[in-house]
Amino acid sequence: YPIYASAFYALSVIPEDFHVWDYLDNSRTQEAYNKIVNGDADIIFVAQPSDGQKKRAEKSGVTLLYTPFAREAFV
C-alpha cells in the first residue's frame, strides 16, 4: 500500500479539501480491471492482466497502458 499511495500522491493534483478515501479506492485485481474498463477509474495499480481481462478491455474499446513502477512480493 505505501508504494501505491506514493505513486497516487505524485501523479495527482490534490485539492485543498482533500480526503483520501474520496479519491483512492482499494480493491482486488479483477474489480480494479472492471473499474478501469467501465470508466469508474482513471488509473489502477495491479498485476499484469489475464488474457480474459485483456480481451474484455479490447471488446469494450479500452486501451490498457502498462507502466511498471515497482516490484514487490509477498514473502
- Residue 62 banded pLDDT, cuts 50, 70, 90: very high
- Quote the pTM value: 0.71
Q: Which pLDDT belongs to residue 49?
A: 93
* Better-scored residue on pLDDT, 25 or 57: 57
In the chain, % of residues over pLDDT 90: 39
DSSP H helical segments within 1-75, as ranges?
2-11, 29-38, 51-59
> Which residues, other chains included, contact 72 with Cβ-Cβ below 8 Å and sequence gap of 6+?
3
**Alpha-carbon separation of residue 52 from 34, 55, 56 (angstroms):** 11, 5, 6
For residue 19, the one-letter residue type is H
Domain boundaries, the chain: 2-59
